[in-house]
Amino acid sequence: MEKKVEDLCTDKKNNNEKENKKDNLNDSNKNSEEAKNTQEENKKEFSKKCNNEENKKQVKLEDVLEELKGANSVLADENEKLENQITALKDRIERTVAEYDNYRKRTSKEKEGIYLEACGDVLKELLPVLDNLERAVQADGDVDSIRKGIEMTISQFKNSLNKLGVEEISTENGFDPKYHEAMMHVENDKYDKNQIVEVFIKGYKKGDKVLRYSSVKVAN
């Protein structure tokens, strides 16, 4: 009888232990399931965050690409404008160079024409002088006649110079370094200071341009 009671107690104890183990196993499984669910949720949350970050990066990258496309379009327009300006500037330079070359050639011909015309005018005025000199050489006569012929030739030559705008430099108003060259100086109280005492070579001018300075002797 005592043995049966003891066996019953043992069986009950064993049953209790089994129940406890079962409960513990259930709790463990429950905890494991909860942990697994939590882990899955964490994975989903992490994956969601990663996807959000990737989406943000993708959006930013697309924005940057759009900005770059816009900037590239602006630069292309500016580059086209600059190329057009450069082309227009080259055309202007080429036209200017061509116009200057034509102007240079034209003025060169005009200057040559003016020079030839001026030389022709000078020679035209001097030819009669040459004619008179030749006549004077060929003519028979005394010294006075020859002298008179030479004087007439000189007068004619001066008239020719006057027609060409050439005039003799005056020495009546005293020494002027603009027109006179002092070859000698003289100390004499009967002359005024800077008075031209003697003319060695007459000077000539055309307008304000001196063709030849007068070589003179000047009183100090």
Specify the length of the chain in residues: 220
Which of 17-31, 71-85, 124-138, 153-167 shows the lowest per-residue confidence on average (mean pLDDT)?
17-31
Domains of the chain by residue range: 167-220
Average of per-residue pLDDT values in the chain? 80
Instruction: Please give the single-letter amino acid code of residue 99.
Output: E
Terminal alpha carbon distance of the chain: 181
The rounded percent of the chain whose pLDDT value lies above 70 is 73
Q: What is the model's pLDDT at position 96?
A: 92
In terms of average pLDDT, the best of 26-30, 35-39, 122-126 is 122-126
CATH superfamily for 167-220 is Head domain of nucleotide exchange factor GrpE (2.30.22.10)
For range 170-189, the mean pLDDT:
93
3 state SS of 190:
coil
Phi, psi of 181 (to 5 degrees): -120, 115
For range 119-134, the mean pLDDT:
80
Q: What is the model's pLDDT at position 5?
A: 47
pLDDT at position 181 over 60: yes
Task: Give 199's pLDDT tier (boundaries 50, 70, 90).
Answer: very high
d(CA 154, CA 148): 10
d(CA 95, CA 83): 18
Q: What is the model's pLDDT at position 175?
A: 95
d(CA 104, CA 171): 43
DSSP letter string over 140-159?
Answer: ---HHHHHHHHHHHHHHHHH
Count other Cβ atoms within 10 Å, centred on residue 121: 13
> Which residue pairs from 198-201 have beta carbons closer than 8 angstroms and sit at least 24 positions apart in sequence?
199/171
Contact present, 179 and 145 (Cβ < 8 Å): no
pLDDT at position 32 over 80: no
